[in-house]
Amino acid sequence: MTERTPVDFWFDPLCPWAWMTSRWIHEVQKVREIEPRWHIMSLAVLNEDKDISDDYRAVLKDAMASVRVLQAAAEKYGDDVLGDLYTAIGTRFHNEAALGDTKGEDRVAAVRRTLGEALESLGLDPGLVAAADSTQYDDAVRRSHERGITLVGQEVGTPIIRVGDVAYFGPVVSPAPKGEAAGKLWDGVLLVAGTDGFFELKRSRTREPVFT
């Protein structure tokens, strides 16, 4: 059996672009010998000292609630639970638009209800949703976040991917390629990211995330 290449992936579950990239990685796993290893990062931590709008600050509170629950689950069940729990949460947040247009206290309740449903769907302790409102796991979240962001610098966000000694932000792609198209993108990303002196290849986004 061919040994699978470990691929470390740092994500914040509330970020739709990280979600798109994670679905691509799942497709890559079907056609290339890779083994994703999932890690938490936090948009709330990344932006805590930045000048951002009140609306976005509120969104980041939801994001922090989500990564706290993920960290609580990882500490109770082990890090291997993160991939499936991310899928359960992300599917509800993004594909099913579980939060809708809720705001204020309604959104706070919707986030916690959705996190609880995701836990229950995997047979995990739904009581872990209480971590959303606790600072108990914040230090661990920050450590995981820092392990990822120090690989690529503070100017980027989520997702971060590391293969061996090479780490990068992205790729940002919508919709997520499937089948061999996903594999070809993976091959290309490895090629450019592994080129000495390569730093950036970018253009403006012209479409929103396509959750298909």
> Cα separation of 150 and 139, whole Å?
16
Average pLDDT over residues 64-68: 98
pLDDT on residue 67: 98
| 120-155 pLDDT, tens digit each | 999 999 999 999 999 999 999 999 999 999 999 988
How many residues belong to the chain? Answer: 212
| 4-20 pLDDT, tens digit each | 999 999 999 999 999 99
> Cα separation of 93 and 82, whole Å?
16
Reported pTM: 0.94
Average pLDDT over residues 179-184: 98
Q: Pairing relation of β-strands 5-11 and 160-163?
A: antiparallel
Q: Domains plus CATH for the chain?
A: 5-193 (3.40.30.10)
Average pLDDT, the chain: 94
| 19-63 pLDDT, tens digit each | 999 999 999 999 999 999 999 999 999 999 888 998 889 989 999
